[in-house]
A = this chain, B = another copy of it.
């Protein structure tokens, strides 16, 4: 028995379709068929395709917000827990990846929120002695979130590279292991490049505030 309301059933079908084939390619007819209703009813409830998307955005963002709030509350800095939590919401995850890459406003808001939370959690981890303090904590948070989300957006290609199924347990294992190695040691044998960069930095002063104009134009 499906005790969800018809409206929420339509919305969930839309989240699934949008996440699977993207907003453009998904049609109201297909979504209606998936939810076992007529195309007209979809428009009756959500006004337009754009309205339907907004409802999906809101629901997915809220859903992720709830699960993340729990993690922040319990102060989880454990990467295993993070991975497990992400894997649980696969349809929402797919939807989110599509939205991020399509540049939907809701997805942008979520990206920013995750960066903020990541920064906060990193600070906790540093205090606890688990994480290494960064010279630019905000920049690092932005980069790590972009890497993590970006890799999810390219999950299909990573899976092919590993020779496993996308979103499978094996894939989680392989990605996790490789990520932990890189994030535990880095990839450079020494700090020659970092040092070189810092010298450039100090010489040219390419820091965010002053670099607004640049030279040529």
Interface residues of A (CB under 8 A from B): 22, 24-25, 78-80, 100-103, 108, 111-112, 115, 122, 126, 129-132, 134-136, 138-147, 149-154, 156-158, 160-164, 169-170, 173-194, 196-197, 201, 206-208, 210-214
Asked if A132 and B211 make an inter-chain contact with CB atoms under 8 angstroms apart, the answer reads no
Q: Is the CB of A178 within 8 A of B131?
A: no
Contact call A161/B101, Cβ cutoff below 8 A:
no
When A24-B25, A151-B147, A154-B100 are in contact, do A185 and B182 touch as well, CB less than 8 Å?
A: no
Q: Which residue of B131, B140, B169 contacts A189 across the interface (Cβ within 8 Å)?
A: B131
Give the complex CA separation of A192 and B136 in angstroms. Answer: 24
Measured CA separation A158–B101 after assembly (Å): 12
Q: Specify the main secondary structure of chain A where it touches its partner.
A: helix
Distance A142 CA – B188 CA, assembled complex (angstroms): 17
14 pairs, CB–CB < 8 Å, chain A vs chain B: A24-B24, A108-B157, A111-B161, A139-B162, A146-B154, A146-B161, A150-B150, A153-B153, A169-B206, A174-B208, A180-B194, A183-B186, A184-B186, A185-B186
Kindly report how many copies of this chain are found in the complex they form together. Answer: 2
A161→B142 contact, CB < 8 A: yes
Known contacts A157-B108, A161-B111, A187-B132; A178/B143 CB under 8 A: yes
For A101, A154, A170, A214, the residue with the greatest tally of chain B CB atoms inside 10 Å of its CB is A154
A160 and B206 contacting across the interface, CB-CB below 8 Å: no
Contact between chains at B177 and A197 (CB < 8 Å): yes
Partner of A208, one of B162, B186, B193, B212: B162
Q: What separation, in Å, do the CA atoms of A115 and B151 have in the docked complex?
A: 14
Contacts of A147 in B (CB 8 A): 147, 150-151
B179 and A143 form a contact (CB under 8 A): yes
Chain B CB within 10 A, most for which of A156, A157, A176, A185: A157
